[in-house]
Structure 1
């Protein structure tokens, strides 16, 4: 037997949390709304993962950044969803959707039906293999997209005992991760193909100000460059990073 709802939000990110808040404000009835998420926790503010979550002292942890703290609204903890009659189906992946029959099939074989489906699955982190570079699963290679990624990165930072880190990418997340790594007393080199950091947002002059500040903290920049390969030691940890311009 499956479950049936009037509204189903597929995806448990920020959009799902804010949508749920709006549904409640507009008077959704108990039992009408369901959120299905592959993550095991209620929707949260993802930007915290590259900010306070990585800091070595007083790091941010749930429930501190559940939705909707980003707009100074009430914090939507699991208790909030329960009190408002919203069902959270967490740790669940949907493997297929039949939009004609308005049904979703989960990886465990459960069928969930709906009248209105809101698809809010968001984006995902690009993997190295998509650029012809193998090594995504190596022990010391980290991505940052969700809570599990952030936990893995924190564990690597704490177990490194200093050492060196290469940050691939010069956007928001790359810059914020680099700052946290430096605070954690790790030597950082940033590698990105653009002529300066935050190229989609900053002018060269503004970027220069930020880059000089980062250099004053010990960060090195390798610009106009892309990653081509990794070398690994016998423990499956990354050694040199090879790049070309």
Structure 2
């Protein structure tokens, strides 16, 4: 069988892979040194577009429009860019075996890839209802969203079932963004989730109340505190109803499931140290195996700001961890040192006319400020998280770029908070004065 040798190999073709490739090219790369191996059919792209612009009925996003690195304001890396830089893209290529000790990867077609340095950028995969044995979960039009193929299936279903009934299973990021996208496509939308409010991993009940009210005003029905336990299909195998644990049955032409993901570490299980569900790394994204790095969703890394190990599933971290790892690889070759990764957790979302950003950590007591009325023409509000007398997290809906920068700075610097009442009164001004 064919054997290919590369100085550097990136396993995975998502956001982290694209940003790592750009960093390699920036820091100096000879033709034929780097290979990216991806099971997807296209060059790395900005995944957040899939739950936003890709699904909009007008002015929608399509490739090549959102290849990396446009998501951070950089150059769009088309297929030709990789060719120009002498980077080999192996697309539609699934790796079935990894042997870190012998620095070998083997593809489903039997090709062997030998590497000097490996960057594991395999990302996450969606959790499927069929994983839990939910009855009827394999019916047609029960859809998930992770890759462009998933988005294409969803677009086809939206066009085939125009103005039909959509049930969104899950109340997290994907659930909220897809609920909005389906409503914009004139579907009758019902969201179902087991928690007492949406986005419970980040939102407080106060923040969630605003978004649930806003969605209700847009005509989206929300059912909380229960889960989907089964599905009915018609004679052609298409989903037609969702059975809920509380006994209710919902008609459905499309079901979109967003109940979380899990990091793809199967290929290296038992060969590398793991922690908190991911591959354990240091502040340079080195794993326990020399010459092997892990970046993006799969890495559990030291979060310096809070002095703990953490795994972060977000596009911002995927980009920055990729750049950090490559900087370290190149610095090591030159006998130089770089600073350890010092990441400020950052999350954001856009749906309808809303746009929020969050920085820092969401633990401790909370103080809300601003206009939280879901029927306001231009709602603008936020929340601070306070722990041990310091501000450590900040959330803002409807902020300007300058205001978002201000809350980021506040979360990074962790200024003292002497009075929660004063903080509530100052609101956004507190962060803007820092």
TM-score normalised by length of structure 2: 0.55
Bigger mean CA deviation after superposition, 133-142 or 73-82? 133-142
Shift of 1:136: 4.2
2:90 aligns with 89
Match of 2:32 in 1: 31
SS of corresponding position for 2:143: coil
2:163 partner SS: coil
Classify the secondary structure of the residue corresponding to 1:196.
Answer: coil
Runs of 4+ in 1 over 6 A off after TM superposition: none
Instruction: Judging by fraction of residues, say which structure has more strand.
Output: 2
Gaps of 5+ in 2: 247-434
Q: Which residue of 2 aligns with 1:187?
A: 188
* Cα-to-partner distance string for 1:172-204 (whole Å, 9 max, x where unaligned): 111111111111110000001111111111111
Q: How does 1:185-224 map to 2 (within 5 A)?
A: 185-224=186-225
**Counterpart Cα distance in 1 of 2:33 and 2:244:** 53
Distance of 1:67 and 1:136 partners within structure 2? 33
CA RMSD of aligned residues (A): 1.1
Matched residue pairs, number?
A: 245
CA distance in 2, matches of 1:234, 1:87: 46
Question: For 1:136 and 1:22, how far apart are their aligned partners in 2?
Answer: 42
Which has the higher relative contact order, 1 or 2, with Cα contacts under 8 A spaced 6 or more apart? 1
| Counterpart for residue 148 of structure 1 | 149
User: Is the 2:169–2:175 contact (alpha carbons within 8 Å) kept by the matching residues of 1?
Assistant: yes
Within 2, Cα distance between the matches of 1:135 and 1:118?
A: 38
- Provide the C-alpha distance between the structure 1 equivalents of 2:245 and 2:184, rounded to a whole number of angstroms: 29
Task: Name the structure 2 match of 1:230.
Answer: 231
Residues 32/135 of structure 1: CA separation in 2 closer, same or farther (3 Å cut):
farther
Equivalent residue number for residue 131 of structure 1: 132
Q: Distance in 2 between matches of 1:174 and 1:35?
A: 31
Compute the displacement of 1:97 (Å): 1.3
| Structure 2 CA distance for aligned equivalents of residues 17 and 135 of structure 1 | 37
Of the two, which has the highest radius of gyration? 2
User: Would the aligned equivalents of 1:135 and 1:141 in 2 still touch at CA under 8 Å?
Assistant: no
Give the CA deviation at 1:239. 2.0
**1:166 matched residue in structure 2:** 167
2:3 is matched with 2
What TM-score, normalized by structure 1, do the two folds share? Answer: 0.97
Residue by residue, what CA displacement relative to the aligned partner does 1:64-116 show, whole Å, maximum 9, x if unpaired? 11111121111111111111110000001001012222111110111111111
Provide the residue aligned with 1:52 in structure 2.
Answer: 53
What do the CA deviations read for 1:203-240 (whole angstroms, capped 9, x no partner)? Answer: 11111111111111110001011111111111111122
> Structure 1: 5+ residue runs without aligned partners?
none
Distance in structure 2 (CA, Å) of the matches to 1:97 and 1:81: 24
